[in-house]
């Protein structure tokens, strides 16, 4: 069926194709039909081969991997999950490993070395070609999640005193295509970055034009220690395909490319979403970690919330007894606690969601905290008033409560909505001011904080209404 695929395969049928490749590969390997398996993989993209290999039982992974040509093997290896990369290394002969690792791109290699035992890394570093060793050692020297770590130190740099034609000749004479990203960097004798030339401009310009005519002087760059999220946002903002990385002395040391950036933005979004959902995230893939690791990621917030909620329980118990003495309707009053805290929690979760996302995508950079919190407070008041009136009428007419209870419910809802929206919008700013991720101020936390305060407010208002 693979042979019938048209050259232009639309992506919708691609995912079926991927499943097919995985199943067929497994079948062929089960039958020990290595030639068939080899033929099957020829027209398949490296990333899809990597996924097919990941789907195989461990005993078959190395066999399947050995079917690939050397050039293809390196590309596929770069796309494999770190855990499979590690497993394969143990299967391979020493020289096979060195051959592959030597030809990986330096940023992918650095990521792999991060996960390997230090002893293995030292051995491998020693056997890499001097140039690759230097490139990797350079990257490993930078902090994780910085521009220095995700950049590739391979790029083409030029001097300015040549023509378009000469430059094209020079590029052609350089052996390794992988070093050519879509910009060329102009440096002076001290490796200071002085200009950028896009490959596009180079190609469309007359060959006798001096480079200085097409060079861009207004350069956007980042430092080696710039956080990877900021690197991503910069590439996104300026619609770049690659971003130069300079060291403290403003010398060009590497380039970050757009494909790495997409994965970073996606990973950061997942971290935000997990934090909002009260799941700790450390960049691991949730569905590939063990059940106990999963439980550990989740139990932290649950415990904090459990402890906080015992305060709510204590307040209801003690407040309830004294309310019973005053009103004789403690249970009727307590029955509205979930409605009030639930609504308050939801309003707080909404406010914190929009503020956290706004902070992390830079959308509210221009608005000060005061403006944002004020706006959320007004929204909370608006929502609380309309819902409060509704809840009051509901309590009296549909649930048959007397007006005292209904008024206590309605007015508490307004106060709680205001509290929740202020807390939900202000706490992320507080966290940011303390230099922590605003997303840590997650919805579950705000929900629970609103529970405790909400019950206190409600019981006090109820007591006041009944003793009027």
Q: What residues from 301 to 330 belong to the interface with a second copy (CB under 8 A)?
A: 301-303, 305-306, 309-310, 312-314, 316-317, 320-321, 324, 330
Residue closer to a second copy, measured from CB, 50 or 135: 50
Scan residues 164-183 and list those touching a second copy (CB under 8 A): 168, 171-172, 174, 177, 180, 182
CB of 131 to a second copy, least distance (A): 19
Residue closer to a second copy, measured from CB, 122 or 328: 328
| Candidate ranges 62-70, 89-97, 123-131, 194-202; the one touching a second copy (CB under 8 A) | 194-202
Contact with a second copy (CB under 8 A): which of 338, 393, 397, 430? 338
CB of 35 to a second copy, least distance (A): 20
Scan residues 248-267 and list those touching a second copy (CB under 8 A): 250, 258-259, 261-263, 265-266
CB of 122 to a second copy, least distance (A): 30
Determine the size of the site formed for a second copy (CB under 8 A): 141
Scan residues 413-432 and list those touching a second copy (CB under 8 A): none
DSSP conformational letter for 143: P
| Candidate ranges 26-34, 114-122, 362-370, 460-468; the one touching a second copy (CB under 8 A) | 362-370
Asked if residue 156 lies in contact with residue 179, where contact means CB atoms within 8 angstroms, the answer is yes
Determine how β-strand 242-246 pairs with β-strand 183-187.
Answer: unpaired
Residue closer to a second copy, measured from CB, 124 or 410: 410
Nearest in space to 458 (alpha carbons), one of 353, 373, 360, 384: 384
Scan residues 54-93 and list those touching a second copy (CB under 8 A): 55
Question: What contacts 32, CB < 8 A, 6 or more positions away?
Answer: none
Look at residue 284 and give its three-state secondary structure: coil
CA 326/CA 466 separation, integer angstroms: 8
Can residue 393 be called a binding residue for a second copy (CB under 8 A)? no
CB of 436 to a second copy, least distance (A): 19
Scan residues 207-246 and list those touching a second copy (CB under 8 A): 217-223, 226, 230-231, 233-239, 241, 244, 246
CB of 319 to a second copy, least distance (A): 9
Can residue 285 be called a binding residue for a second copy (CB under 8 A)? yes
CA dihedral 359, 361, 362, 364 (to 10 degrees): -50
| Candidate ranges 90-98, 108-116, 201-209, 427-435; the one touching a second copy (CB under 8 A) | 201-209
CB of 463 to a second copy, least distance (A): 15
Can residue 204 be called a binding residue for a second copy (CB under 8 A)? yes
Give the Å distances, CA to CA, from 230 to 140, 146, 217, 268, 283: 20, 9, 22, 11, 17
CB of 95 to a second copy, least distance (A): 29
Can residue 20 be called a binding residue for a second copy (CB under 8 A)? no
Can residue 136 be called a binding residue for a second copy (CB under 8 A)? no
Which neighbouring-strand residues pair with 244? Answer: 255
Contact with a second copy (CB under 8 A): which of 192, 284, 326, 370? 192
Give the Å distances, CA to CA, from 440 to 264, 333, 436: 19, 34, 8
Look at residue 251 and give its three-state secondary structure: strand
In the structure encoding, which two tokens stand for residue 12, read together?
């919708």
Can residue 15 be called a binding residue for a second copy (CB under 8 A)? yes
Residue closer to a second copy, measured from CB, 128 or 354: 354
Strand (E) or helix (H) holding 252: strand 252-257
Asked if residue 219 lies in contact with residue 246, where contact means CB atoms within 8 angstroms, the answer is no
Contact with a second copy (CB under 8 A): which of 194, 210, 229, 431? 194
Scan residues 446-465 and list those touching a second copy (CB under 8 A): 447-448, 451, 455
Q: Please give the full DSSP string across 93-138, using - where no structure is assigned.
A: -HHHHHHHHHHS-HHHHHHHHHHS-HHHHHHHHHHS-HHHHHHHHH
The CA-based angle 460-345-415, given to 5 degrees, is 35
Burial class (CB within 10 angstroms; exposed 0-12, middle 13-18, buried 19+) of 95: exposed
């Amino acid at each position: 069926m693979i042979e019938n695929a048209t050259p232009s395969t639309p992506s919708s049928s691609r995912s079926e194709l991927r499943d097919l490749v995985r199943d067929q590969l497994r079948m062929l390997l089960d039958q020990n039909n290595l030639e068939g398996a080899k033929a099957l993989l020829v027209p398949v993209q490296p990333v899809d081969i990597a996924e097919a290999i990941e789907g195989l039982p461990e005993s078959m992974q190395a066999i399947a991997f050995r079917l690939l040509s050397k050039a293809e093997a390196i590309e596929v290896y770069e796309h494999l999950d770190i855990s499979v990369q590690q497993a394969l290394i143990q299967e391979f002969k020493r020289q096979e490993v060195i051959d592959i690792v030597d030809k990986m791109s330096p940023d992918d290699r650095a990521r792999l070395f991060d996960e390997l035992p230090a002893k293995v890394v030292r051995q491998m570093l020693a056997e890499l070609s001097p140039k690759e060793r230097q490139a990797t050692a350079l990257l490993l020297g930078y902090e994780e999640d910085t521009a220095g770590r995700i950049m590739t130190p391979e790029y083409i740099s030029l001097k300015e005193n040549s023509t378009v034609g000469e430059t094209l000749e020079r590029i052609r004479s350089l052996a390794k295509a992988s070093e050519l990203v879509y910009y060329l960097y102009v440096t002076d004798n001290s490796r200071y970055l002085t200009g950028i030339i896009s490959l596009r401009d180079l190609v469309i310009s007359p060959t006798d034009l001096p480079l200085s005519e097409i060079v861009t002087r207004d350069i956007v760059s980042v430092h080696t220690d710039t956080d990877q999220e900021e690197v991503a946002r910069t590439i996104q903002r300026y619609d770049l395909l690659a971003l130069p990385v300079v060291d403290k002395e403003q010398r060009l040391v590497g380039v970050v490319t757009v494909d790495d950036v997409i994965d970073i933005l996606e990973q950061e979004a997942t971290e935000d979403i997990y934090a909002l959902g009260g799941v700790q995230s450390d960049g691991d893939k949730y569905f590939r970690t063990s059940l106990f690791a999963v439980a550990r990621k989740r139990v932290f917030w649950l415990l904090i919330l459990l402890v906080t909620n015992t305060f709510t329980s204590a307040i209801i118990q003690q407040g309830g007894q004294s309310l019973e003495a005053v009103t004789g309707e403690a249970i009727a009053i307590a029955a509205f606690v979930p409605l009030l805290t639930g609504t308050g929690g939801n309003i707080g979760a909404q406010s914190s969601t929009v503020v956290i996302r706004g902070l992390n995508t830079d959308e509210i950079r221009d608005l000060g905290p005061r403006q944002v919190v004020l706006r959320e407070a007004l929204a909370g008041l608006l929502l609380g008033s309309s819902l409060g009136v509704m809840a009051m009428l509901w309590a009296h007419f549909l649930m048959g409560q007397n007006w005292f209870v209904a008024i206590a419910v309605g007015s508490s809802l307004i106060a709680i909505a205001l509290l929740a929206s202020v807390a939900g919008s202000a706490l992320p700013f507080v966290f940011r001011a303390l230099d922590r991720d605003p997303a840590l101020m997650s919805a579950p936390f705000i929900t629970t904080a609103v529970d405790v305060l909400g019950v206190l407010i409600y019981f006090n208002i109820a007591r006041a209404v009944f003793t009027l």
